[in-house]
Amino acid sequence: MNLSLILCPLDFSAVSTPLVAYAAALAAGTGAELHLLHVLEPQPSLTVPATGPDAANRQLAFYRTQAEQAGARVSTGLLQGEAAVEIVAEAQTRHADLIVIGTHGQTGLTRFLVGSTAEAVVRKAACATLLVKARPANEYRQSA
């Protein structure tokens, strides 16, 4: 499979660091551009306040540096809306060859109540989608 663009959506949870390490290693190994994306979603008033654009851009810059240090060519994007819808649309707009997305591994009631962005992306994306289960970052590093 020839990869030119890998889209890696981030939610800035604990899954993000190992996910970026994995996606960066994949991009560096294939010569593909890695596009890191965060979607600012509207938050119900009963939850923690949403991350604002300034904080999101700082987080994206942090992950961009992490990916560049792993040898990847990196771009970033920040969108607003429903995460799954925006991720699928961005993949189509940018002609992504692959979406690398993290999964929290939620099941049962938690998944029913919260929903699964990763599952929706897998079902709706036109390109290949790789689900990466949360693991320690050192498990994703390429051996020297």
pLDDT in tens, the chain (144 residues): 689 999 999 999 888 999 999 999 999 999 999 999 999 988 765 555 557 899 999 999 999 999 999 999 999 999 999 999 999 999 999 999 999 999 875 555 544 444 589 889 999 999 999 988 865 545 545 443
The CATH code of the domain at 5-138 is 3.40.50.620
Query: How high is the pLDDT of residue 133?
Result: 80
For residues 72 and 21, give the distance between their C-alpha atoms in angstroms, rounded to a whole number.
Answer: 10
Query: How high is the pLDDT of residue 134?
Result: 66
| Domain boundaries defined on the chain | 5-138
Residue with tokens 């940018």: 94
Query: How high is the pLDDT of residue 24?
Result: 98
Query: How high is the pLDDT of residue 48?
Result: 52
Query: How high is the pLDDT of residue 14?
Result: 87
For residues 16 and 10, the answer to whether their CB atoms sit within 8 Å is yes
Query: How high is the pLDDT of residue 42?
Result: 82
What pTM was estimated for this model as a whole?
Answer: 0.84
119: left (phi over 0), alpha (psi -120 to 50) or beta: alpha
